[in-house]
Amino acid sequence: MSIADKVKNKAEELAGKAKQGIGEATDNERLYAEGQAQETRAHAKQAGEHVKDAGRDVRDALS
């Protein structure tokens, strides 16, 4: 995973957390749900990148 991807995914995760906090503070269920979805997407992207990195590590170890 490149540094740019890590930063982008972390920024998306933090934006989701912020939306959740604002949604909770203002009793805005829609904003809270959007924040949860955004944070979940960021986690999924991070997990996918970790799988790709692990695959590259295995390939390199077998080479």
pLDDT in tens, the chain (63 residues): 688 888 999 999 999 999 999 999 999 999 999 999 999 999 999 998 889 888 888 888 888
User: Do 2 and 52 contact (CB within 8 A), yes or no?
Assistant: no
Residue 27 has phi, psi (to 5 degrees) of 55, 40
Q: Which amino acid is at 34?
A: E
